[in-house]
């Protein structure tokens, strides 16, 4: 192998970027995925594996699901609780 298959954003950038808790790092990781030639396959693979965390294929995963953004530490807001209960119903 000439290593060109590993010239992907997630192979050349700091891996911590893709598993960060910081919104700015998550945004940067997602933007790096934007021009990636294997983005669709990466996202598909992450969904089929139900990745527990990280940015995969330009999407943020938590507990095997794509989420819009990281939940802040601490107690959830009332609207977050209501939304979660609505999803479960």
Model pLDDT for residues 66-79, shown as the tens digit of each residue? 998 877 666 667 77
Q: What is the percent of the chain where pLDDT is above 70?
A: 87
Q: Give me the torsion for CA of 6, 7, 10, 13, rounded to 10°.
A: 130
Rounded-to-5 percentages of helix, strand, coil across the chain = 50, 10, 35
Cα separation of 60 and 65, whole Å?
Answer: 8
- Nearest alpha carbon to residue 66 among 83, 49, 79: 49
Structural domain including 83 reads 4-88
How many structural domains does the chain have? 1
Give φ, ψ of 63 to 5 degrees.
Answer: 50, 40
Where does the pLDDT of residue 54 fall: very low under 50, low under 70, confident under 90, or very high at 90 and above?
very high
Average pLDDT along the chain: 87
pLDDT exceeds 90 at position 29: yes
Over residues 40-54, the mean pLDDT reads: 97
Over residues 8-35, the mean pLDDT reads: 94
In whole angstroms, how far apart are CA 67 and each of 8, 35, 47? 23, 21, 12
């Amino acid at each position: 192998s000439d290593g060109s298959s590993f010239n992907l954003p997630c192979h050349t950038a700091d891996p911590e970027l893709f598993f960060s808790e910081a919104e700015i790092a998550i945004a940067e990781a997602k933007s790096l995925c934007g021009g990636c030639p294997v983005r669709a396959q990466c996202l598909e693979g992450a969904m089929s594996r139900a990745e527990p965390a990280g940015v995969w294929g330009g999407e943020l995963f938590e507990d095997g699901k794509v989420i819009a953004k990281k939940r802040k530490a601490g107690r959830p807001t009332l609207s977050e609780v209501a939304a979660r209960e609505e999803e479960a119903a």
